Structure 1
Amino acid sequence: MDLVAPPMAGHLHPALGVAARLAREPGVDVRVISTPGARAAVAAAGVPGLAVLDGADAEVEAIVNPPYPIGSNPVRLSRQFSAALRLQARFQRELAGIWAEQRPDLAIVDFTLPAAGYAAEAAGAGWWTLHASPCAIEATSGPPAYLGGLRPGTGPLGRGRDAAGRLLTRGFKRSVHLATRRRLAALGVTGAYRADGSEAAYSPDRILALTPEAIEFPRRLPPSVRYVGPVLHTPPTTHPVPELTSGRRHVLVTAGTHLPWHKQTLLDLTATAAAALPHVDLHLSLGTVEPSLRAPRTLTSSPSNLHIHPYVDYARDLPRFDAVVHHGGSGVLGHTLAAGLPAVVLPVDYDQFDHAARLVAAGVAVRPRRQGDLAAALRTVLDDPAYARAAARIAAGIAAAPAVDLIAAEVLQFESAAPRSLPGSTGT
């Protein structure tokens, strides 16, 4: 079987974690397909890999990691979508050539690559969606995503607001499809929605949702959705383990590996919070696996309890901290919950506002009214044990049913029900 993902950590790492787990199953042949920029991480995971889109990593980076926030700006969203379509078309053509020679029985495709799903379908393979941000999946009840982080409305007015938001979201997607229908048709996409109302960008058979159901709002989702929780995989790193002084409380501050335009702001906010919390050590991760010209300038005056690291390995290092300040990205969100740590969430773009709303509602995080209130928010999650208790309950649920085991069980069930492989197939 093939797992298909872009090279960005929040998308690639879950695919690698699933691939590494499936590779332990007898008779399951696994391959990870990404761009050349993912080669090192794929090799470190110990699974076979295949690179496509040679020479396109810089273009991929420019699309997913622009030097400004995307938000709900229709012009920026449209520009990003148009650029992504160009790459998806090339990606699909290269996949079609690969699968014409060696077709998998099943392709598990990252939710940002619907063209890969359609390529699998055209090749006669099954395809599932691996979804790190299930809050974005449209439902027939509850609040829609990308509208500032809405919580479920209550009463007639609240439910009416949610219904209006769902209609707005659906209308926007239909208008985008209408504007790009010829290019989408070339990818095999004939409409934004299927006849049953489900989104055509995702698999009709299985959507593997990578957040714990315990933090999700109750919504009527398509029957294909399965909440499995976070896949906790990070490639090995040579970056040193952060030194944590015994007897002090330690907080990790991170915005992941994206959001270059936000790094300087985060550094300034962290320095201000450190000065206000002299008895707490704040450790800021810049999220730069390699030295980067986008790293923020150094501070002219740095509090002694502020420690700056180029990179912190979530799987290895995060459980040693007492709390985390993060942006609501799916990767750090999952690792923080699995470690049983309370959080302060500072969302800045994309689905992060929706994740923040869920974490706050679950009682595991605080979202400050203003970014400048970071120190006060940290005092709350560090001093009020209710946040740590709520986080520990969710962590226990994640540990009791690891996502990779749940996904492996689904794959093995699919394999047992699938017909014998055809010539040219990889077997699984």
Structure 2
Amino acid sequence: MQRLFDLIPAGVTYIDLLAPPFAGHLHPVLAMGKALSAHYQVRIISTHGAKKRIEAAGLSALILPGEYDQPLLAVANPRYAIKSSPLKLYQQFRHVVGLLKNFADELEQIWQQNGKPELAIADFTLPIAGEVCRKADVLWWTSMPSPCVLESPDGTPAYCGGLMPAKTMLGRNWHFLHRKKVRLFKLAIFWLFRDAIRQTGITRLYRHDGSESAYSPTRILALSERDFEFPQRWPAALTFIGPALYTPALGYQAPPFKVGKRHVLVTLGTHLDWHKDAVADAVRVLAGTMPDWEFHFTDGNAAGDDNQQQGNFCRIPWVDYDCWLSHYDVVIHHGGAGIMWHCLKRDIPALVYPVDYDQFDHAARLAYSGKGIWLRGGLKKLEQAGALLREVVRK
């Protein structure tokens, strides 16, 4: 976090950090908040669903009064895959526009009632923070756990199934077409929802310099390492500060580790509920082929039921990465930024089973750098991953 401290302007005392309640967005903000709170007055702004974790981190919480948790969960955790389907992306965006408008109004009211900060750092999923900050004369920065999703005039585009860097003219042309496809889709969505979006104060999708108006023109904090990302021309505002890793300690039950056994953690994060039963079934099949190993599948649900043990397979509601991840020999994960960097920082071998969103782009970077194995081939490949698991623990 030293790189973050070096960026804070002189004279800043009060800093607000904003995030939705989901672990992949809230926990990096909490990590930054904990670090900054040693030298600044820090508050975390989120929804009711985040209050317990904010307080567990020892930070001050400003909670938006509206009911956001269930509507946001319905958007972020649908009962189907989004991938790159224009129709499903359209449906998802349609539901989120109204929530963003309410969020902006309540954020403005919170600052009027509780005082405004000198600097606001907002998760990249909250683009409306910029307009509220402009009206309140507050310096606005964006935090970005997945900088691979930023558009650029060159390089490898995101949300296209996990493309690798182009090595030929044909590959570069293919990437060019995908970049155009992504931009045209965003422009089409913006046009379709232009009246609703403009109510938030956002009047254009791209600035005159071509940068995306959803993110701060002053500073985008990339919670990644530059040498891990594929080469491209990054926005002028982007600064790599490294991963921000933290899990609030809420006293959850420890996973059932067994002495003398190798342990595998399988996680799809806190979303993707529509696919978790199928993946758990595939892991049971895999566990049956490796009776000398223990397999833990976590639902990523802190409010879930007790552990469910079946032979050498155990389904667990929640695993605290800070406390327990280092006890695992291998992790099979979905390519979420949080679990990816937790594994990389602890040098834990990983097999990557991407399902949706930017997960394919992370899988591509892990495979390209030799820091993970991309499981291509769906559930059948997962069921037959025994040889790969034994291979990675021998390295």
TM-score, normalising length: structure 2: 0.92
- Following the alignment from structure 2 to structure 1, what is the Cα–Cα distance between the partners of residues 331 and 392? 15
* Residue 22 (structure 2) aligns with: 8
Shift of 1:305: 1.8
1:324-365 Cα deviation digits (max 9, x unpaired): 001111221121111111111111111111111111111111
Residue 37 of structure 1 is matched in structure 2 by 49
Structure 1 ranges of 4+ moved more than 6 A: none
Query: 2:321 corresponds to which residue?
Result: 314
Distance in structure 2 (CA, Å) of the matches to 1:248 and 1:214: 35
Note the 1:73-84 alignment, pairs <5 A. 73-84=85-96
Give the equivalent residue in structure 2 for 1:259: 272
Q: 1:134 to 1:378 in 2, by over 3 A?
A: farther
Given that 1:365 and 1:381 are in contact with CA atoms closer than 8 Å, whether structure 2 keeps it comes out as: no
CA distance in 2, matches of 1:378, 1:100: 57
The answer to whether the 8 Å contact 2:159/2:361 transfers is yes
Which residue of the partner structure matches residue 270 of structure 1? 283
Q: Deviations over 1:112-170 (max 9, x none)?
A: 00011221122101111111111111112111111111111111100111111111111
In structure 1, C-alpha distance between the alignment counterparts of 2:23 and 2:290, rounded to whole Å: 31
Other structure's SS at 2:35 match = helix
| Whole-Å separation in 2 of the counterparts to 1:96 and 1:233 | 28
> Are residues 1:230 and 2:238 paired?
no
1:17-73 per-residue CA deviation (whole Å, 9 max, x = no partner) reads 111111111xx1110000111110111011111111422311111111111111212
Pairing partner for 1:280 from 293, 307, 325:
293
Query: Which residue of structure 2 lines up, in the alignment, with residue 379 of structure 1?
Result: 387
2:359 to 352, 356, 376: 352
**1:9-408 residue pairs with structure 2 within 5 A?**
9-25=23-39, 28-101=40-113, 102-291=115-304, 302=310, 304-370=311-377, 371-374=379-382, 376-384=384-392
Contact 1:367 1:377 in 2 (8 A): no
Alpha-carbon distance, 1:245 to partner:
2.2
Q: Say which SS state the counterpart of residue 33 (structure 1) adopts.
A: strand
Contact 1:53 1:90 in 2 (8 A): no
Q: What is the alpha-carbon distance in structure 2 between the residues aligned to residue 263 and residue 155 of structure 1?
A: 38
Distance change >3 Å, CA 378–CA 357, structure 1 → 2: farther
- Give, in angstroms, the shift of residue 95 of structure 1: 1.1
The two structures have a TM-score, normalised by structure 1, of 0.85
Distance 1:272 1:385 in 2: 20
Q: Match of 1:281, SS?
A: strand
Identity of aligned residues (%): 42
Question: Are 2:229 and 2:365, in contact at CA under 8 Å, matched by a contact in 1?
Answer: yes
CA distance in 1, matches of 2:77, 2:134: 29
Partner of 1:412 in structure 2?
A: none
Cα RMSD after superposing both structures: 1.9
Runs of at least 5 residues in structure 1 that lack an aligned partner in the other structure: 389-428
What is the deviation of 1:261?
A: 0.8
Query: Residue type of the partner of 1:374?
Result: L
Amino acid at match of 1:328: G
Paired amino acid for 2:21? P
Unaligned runs of 5+ in 2: 1-14
